[in-house]
Structure 1
């Protein structure tokens, strides 16, 4: 899997570029790709997000997107990972679980306890990566088109968690969002810097390439 590191990219620009990467992967012109980047503040939401879960118009742009999942916030201090992966070649039975497992491995490598929240049957509303006390650390929203994935995950490193309070995050009214910085402060340790988080995430996915 090819790792691509970018800095802060406007959300609309990133989505346009991702569409190009998907077409290139469908045509076999590029390898599977993990793109790591950040966005300026934006709230995005999927087509099935109820209007009541969205914030009133304000300073943070509100953007509809063509991924799974409900409303979420992106902004400084958050690591975004876009996965452009040909599932016909790789074939994970459950791509979301594959992403969750990769992120959990990365967080464990950083000394952070993280879990999936599975219920029988699997509840879409519980997709993501969570702390053992059920705070949400990573949001995941994917799309598959022509056998190739797009979109990916948002991992809160030093995110402004107050931004999530303006709307119903992830379709879960009672969800408590957290960040690596908040978890480290609670433990009295130093939080991993973003560069270390990027390395751990990339290594976790490339190790299972």
Structure 2
């Protein structure tokens, strides 16, 4: 992977919809060359977000009390909550570079970050003719630990990844995550018996060659 420095923004817990408004502002600034490529790291209060093609039968029961918000990213249903590290990537792609190419790069960088934390992980190849199988899975247990959903507008990416660090995994069972009925979502804490958000943030920033 080539060197691609990113300016890093770090926040703690930010409500999803205000975060989307701020992300739109960041994308506009990048399109106008008013800011460098940016990685915004944060977490959200409990919320399910859905892509435009998420089937209604994949949604959680409303009685669970967790809001469901439609979003503009690719992918299907994802859960966000405390203890999860969300990374929004506002990056200007090179000429001829597509969003799928960049998503695959993001997967590799997160595999690298998780490896530094002592958790071997992998991305998965997509069978020919199938929809892109995005995300990161643990090698030993085969569980999914990272969800990825992105989009591109006028050459600049938005949205990004959700890495489960030490949050509650129960809400993932209330819906069909990522369009995969049989997926078993996991976290760093579940796999290693321990987790540190600060260490995870540091490993992710190093993997994305951030500065700030």
> What is the TM-score of this pair, normalised by structure 2?
0.91
Contact in 2 for aligned 1:125/1:171 (Cα 8 Å): no
Quote the Cα distance in structure 2 between the aligned partners of 1:144 and 1:57. Answer: 31
Q: What is the CA distance between 1:159 and its match in structure 2?
A: 1.8
- 1:13 and 2:14 are equivalent in the alignment: no
1:91-150 deviations in Å (ceiling 9; x for gaps):
477011011001001111111110011133274462100012321000000010010000
Is 1:178 matched with 2:181? Answer: no
Given the alignment of the two structures, is residue 138 of structure 1 paired with residue 141 of structure 2, yes or no? no
Aligned length: 202
CA distance in 2: counterparts of 1:164 and 1:125, whole angstroms = 21
- Greater fraction of residues in helix: 1
Give the number of the structure with larger relative contact order, counting CA–CA contacts within 8 Å between residues 6 or more apart. Answer: 2
Using the alignment, how far apart are the partners of 1:86 and 1:153 within structure 2? Answer: 17
The 1:110/1:87 distance shift into structure 2, 3 A limit, reads same
Q: Give, in whole Å, the separation in 2 of the partners of 1:140 and 1:123.
A: 17
Match of 1:57 among 53, 62, 68: 62
The corresponding residue for 1:109 is 116
CA contact (8 A) 2:145 2:186 kept: yes
Gaps of 5+ in 1: 186-190
> Offset at 1:206?
1.1
- The TM-score with structure 1 as length reference comes to 0.92
Aligned partners of 1:17, 1:78: CA distance in 2, in Å?
Answer: 19
> 1:83: which partner in 2?
89
Q: 1:57 offset after TM fit, Å?
A: 1.5
Q: Can you give the 5+ residue segments of structure 2 that lack an aligned partner in the other structure? A: 1-5
